[in-house]
Amino acid sequence: MVACGCFALVLGGLCGAQEPADESSPAQNAPTASGDDAARDPPADTLGRRAGEASDPPPSVVPPPPPRETLELSIEEAVRIALARNFQVRIADIDLRMRERDLVIERAVFDPYLTLGTFYSKNRRPTASFLDLGGGAVTPEVQVNPFETTSYNGGIRGRTLIGTDYTLTVGSNGFDRPLASALFGLNPQESASARLDITQPLLRGAWYPYNSAAIRIAHNNERLAREDLETATSELIYQVESAYWNHAFATQNFAAKTNSLRVAELDLEKARKEERAGTKARIYVTTVRGQLALRQVNYNDARLLVENSRDALLELLNHGGDSLKERWQSGEDVGPFDDIVVVPTSAADLEPFSPDRDVSLAMAFRSRADYRRFAIQLDSQQIAVDTARNDLWPRVDLTTSWEQLGLDDSVEGSFSSLGTGEFYSWSVGVQVEVPLSNRGPKNAFRRAEDRLRQLTWERLQIENRIVLDVDQAIRQLDSLARKVDYLGEVVRLKAEELDAERKKLDAGTSIPFQVHTIENDLIELEAQALQSRTDYLTARAAYYRATGVLLERHDVTLEK
């Protein structure tokens, strides 16, 4: 069982007992005293802090700068802000949109094309031919042969999902030779035609599975992008939870180190008074000053930790805007988060949690996006194998065409003539293409098969990894739950030991060195206890990530 224990005053932020301390006021809950009252040992908790009291920052250190912004943040708010602003989710979302466009592009390959064209020419060529000049050419001389041609055509062409190439063309051609009209019977002449050409592959490149391969792979790529977006979202939530609880730990650790520093300052003040009164030797003051120096080191390290953990959390939330570089270039002379205080407001849930292994593994294999994506990848690769196998065949194409014709001295008449069905032509044939060397397609096929086998092994690898992830997550939860309880008991006993040793010191049967040694041990144990609670909360988030239910835990639903 994970309990809050006897040191809830020191670790109150993670136990939900009190609001976390503000790093801009490092002496939160420290005692304020003067004179003889200040010289007495604080009667409150093991770090000498009176609950509910506050003090100025310890005078022996430089306090942090005053905050420009105080950001009170719950874990739910942190997750919501991160999902809206974080770059890795934005990038994954854009990748999904790109894959959706790729699918449209592949489908558009089979969209028909409309073709339109027109042509006109006027010629005055020299000629001496009787065929060009007609019956009026009675003298053998070079004359002008005027004629005009016009052409109109339109059609549709495209490819079907079974590989059929088709072209339907309707056109009209006009020809006007005024000097030779007697020879040609009709002048001007208007010819109309409607032609359908079809080419159907029979082996290589034939039928639906081959021609739809790019579309099906693009569709799978879209599904993969959705799985990747879910993975990126889950990973971000885990990072936010870890950063949030790490900052909560750093905040409370900073408050504890601030109070221990204040106690050391009060001890030094008391020791100097006792030295002046002649009740303590000089060496006693030196020992207490050494303790103060150690507390200053601890305070400095705790302050750095709280500032770095704040930066890590705000970076995940993209709190400073999209470009921190632009803020620096605009003349900002401090770090983007240096004057921001983040106050975690969520109480830690340290209730006992012992998940069932079978249920957890079933949930992981059902819910983890990084595992589901392998089924999609294997399907895409099987499509690639089938396509490469088809490319091993020779190309055998059936070609056919049908053309309706019409002729008259006007456009309307030529199309009327076309519609009678009296004039037509058709053709049918087979075209065969066999490569003299098929080594390229053969190796492409073998490479596709190799990649399929590789994906199979990779899926087995991730299956093993998932089993170990879940087992280790459960083991970590159990271990940390015990560690929290063990450290709670150790801290309680060490606090009792310190209290007893202080009484012995007051009675003259102990020495300050012994008291300070126990005090140092207690401070270190309290920090370890607080860290163990943070580790437990992070381990629980890691368990939910390992089982693939972090999104569900935070009621996050992705668009399908």
What tens digit of pLDDT does each residue of 414-465 get? 888 888 888 999 999 999 999 988 999 999 999 999 999 999 999 999 999 9
Q: How far is it, in rounded angstroms, from Cα 491 to Cα 534?
A: 16
Residue 443 lies in a domain: no
Residues, the chain, total? Answer: 560
Q: Counting runs of H as helices and runs of E as strands, what totals does the chain give?
A: 16, 8
Residue 282: predicted pLDDT? 87
Task: Please count the other Cβ atoms lying within 10 Å of the Cβ belonging to residue 326.
Answer: 11
Q: In terms of domains, do 184 and 248 share one?
A: no
Q: In terms of domains, do 329 and 369 share one?
A: yes
Q: In terms of domains, do 284 and 418 share one?
A: no
DSSP character at residue 159: E
Residue 38 lies in a domain: yes
| Residues sharing a CB contact under 8 Å with residue 473, sequence separation 6 or more, in sequence order | 360, 539, 542, 543, 546, 547
Per-residue pLDDT of the chain (560 residues; tens, 9 = 90+): 443 333 333 333 333 333 333 433 333 333 333 333 333 333 333 233 333 333 445 666 666 667 778 899 999 999 999 999 999 999 999 999 999 999 999 999 999 999 999 998 888 777 656 566 565 555 566 677 677 889 999 999 999 999 999 999 999 998 877 766 655 666 788 899 999 999 999 999 999 999 999 999 999 999 999 999 999 999 999 999 999 999 999 999 999 999 989 988 988 898 899 888 888 888 888 888 998 999 999 999 999 999 999 999 999 999 978 788 888 888 888 888 888 999 999 988 888 888 999 999 999 999 999 999 999 999 999 999 999 999 999 999 999 999 999 988 888 888 888 888 889 999 999 999 999 889 999 999 999 999 999 999 999 999 999 999 999 999 999 999 999 999 999 999 999 999 999 899 888 888 888 888 898 899 999 999 999 999 999 999 999 999 999 999 998 888 76
Residue 311 lies in a domain: yes
Domain with 250, as residue range(s), is: 12-62+71-98+218-376+453-553
The shares of helix, strand and coil residues in the chain, as percent rounded to the nearest 5, are: 55, 15, 25
Q: In terms of domains, do 348 and 263 share one?
A: yes
Domain containing residue 490: CATH number: 1.20.1600.10
* C-alpha torsion sign, points 249, 250, 255, 258: positive
Residue 168 sits at the vertex; the CA angle it makes with 163 and 170, to the nearest 5 degrees, is 170
Residue 129: predicted pLDDT? 63
Q: In terms of domains, do 289 and 355 share one?
A: yes
Residue 534 lies in a domain: yes
Residue 73, both tokens: 């943040």
Q: How far is it, in rounded angstroms, from Cα 99 to Cα 292?
A: 61
User: What stretch of H or E contains 146?
Assistant: strand 143-159
Residue 148 sits at the vertex; the CA angle it makes with 146 and 150, to the nearest 5 degrees, is 175
Q: How far is it, in rounded angstroms, from Cα 146 to Cα 124?
A: 4
Q: In terms of domains, do 295 and 425 share one?
A: no
Q: How far is it, in rounded angstroms, from Cα 550 to Cα 236?
A: 10
User: 9, 495 in Cβ contact below 8 A?
Assistant: no
Q: In terms of domains, do 515 and 475 share one?
A: yes
Query: At 346, is the secondary structure helix, strand, or coil?
Result: coil
Q: How far is it, in rounded angstroms, from Cα 214 to Cα 333?
A: 53
Q: In terms of domains, do 258 and 318 share one?
A: yes
Q: In terms of domains, do 122 and 240 share one?
A: no
What tens digit of pLDDT does each residue of 323-338 get? 888 888 888 888 888 8
Residue 500, both tokens: 């007893």
What tens digit of pLDDT does each residue of 82-109 get? 999 999 999 999 999 999 999 999 999 9
Bridge partners (DSSP) of residue 157 are: 113, 167
Residue 168: predicted pLDDT? 96
Residue 280 lies in a domain: yes
Query: At 405, is the secondary structure helix, strand, or coil?
Result: strand
Residue 107 lies in a domain: no
What tens digit of pLDDT does each residue of 261-270 get? 998 898 889 8
Q: In terms of domains, do 358 and 420 share one?
A: no
Number of domains in the chain: 2
Q: In terms of domains, do 275 and 306 share one?
A: yes
Residue 105 lies in a domain: no
Residue 18: predicted pLDDT? 34
Question: Model pTM?
Answer: 0.78
3-state DSSP of 440-468: HHHHHHHHHHHHHHHHHHHHHHHHHHHHH
Instruction: For residue 16, give the amino acid letter.
Output: G
Residue 387 lies in a domain: no
Which residue's structure tokens are 């609670």?
533
User: 20, 46 in Cβ contact below 8 A?
Assistant: no
In 3D space, the residue among 533, 554, 55, 498 whose CA is nearest the CA of residue 251 turns out to be 533
Q: In terms of domains, do 415 and 528 share one?
A: no
Q: Which long-range contacts (CB under 8 A, 24 or more apart) does 518-522 make?
A: 518/494, 519/291, 520/291, 520/294, 521/494, 522/46, 522/491, 522/494, 522/495, 522/498
Residue 497 backbone phi and psi in degrees, to 5? -60, -45
What tens digit of pLDDT does each residue of 370-405 get? 999 999 999 999 999 999 999 999 999 999 999 999
- For residue 444, the number of C-alpha atoms closer than 13 Å in the C-beta half-sphere is 12
